[in-house]
Amino acid sequence: MSSGRRGRISDDEINELISKLQALLPESSRRRNANRSSASKLLKETCSYIKSLHREVDDLSERLSGLMSTMDNDSPQAEIIRSLLR
């Protein structure tokens, strides 16, 4: 994707990017897309996957906050958690 081409991307580059994006999806999505589905379907599935990752991060953050609020800040467990978050 060189800038000298004024933002135009070749079909080969698009296909390569689609393959790379597909490789980032979980195994179950890759199996569904194994028959080389459309780029728009792949983009929709990728957006859905990203949204689910955001929800998972939010849930884990809430759970971690709840856990940390029940711990003594000077406890070894709290120090382990803090070291993991650095």
For residue range 43-55, list pLDDT tens digits in order: 899 999 999 999 9
Per residue in 6-42, pLDDT (tens digit) is 689 898 998 899 889 988 998 766 555 555 568 888 8
pLDDT of residue 1: 45
Q: Examine residue 2 and state whether it is found in any structural domain, yes or no.
A: no
Q: Is residue 4 part of a domain?
A: no
| Residue 27: inside a domain | yes
Give the residue among 43, 8, 13 at the shortest CA–CA distance from 25.
Answer: 43
Q: Residue 25's closest CA among 41, 1, 9?
A: 41
Domain assignment present for 1: no
Copy the structure tokens of residue 24: 């980032």
For 48, the domain range is 11-85
Alpha helix stretches (DSSP H) within the chain: 11-24, 27-32, 39-69, 76-85
The reported pLDDT for the residue numbered 73 is: 86
pTM, to two decimals: 0.68
Total domains present in the chain: 1
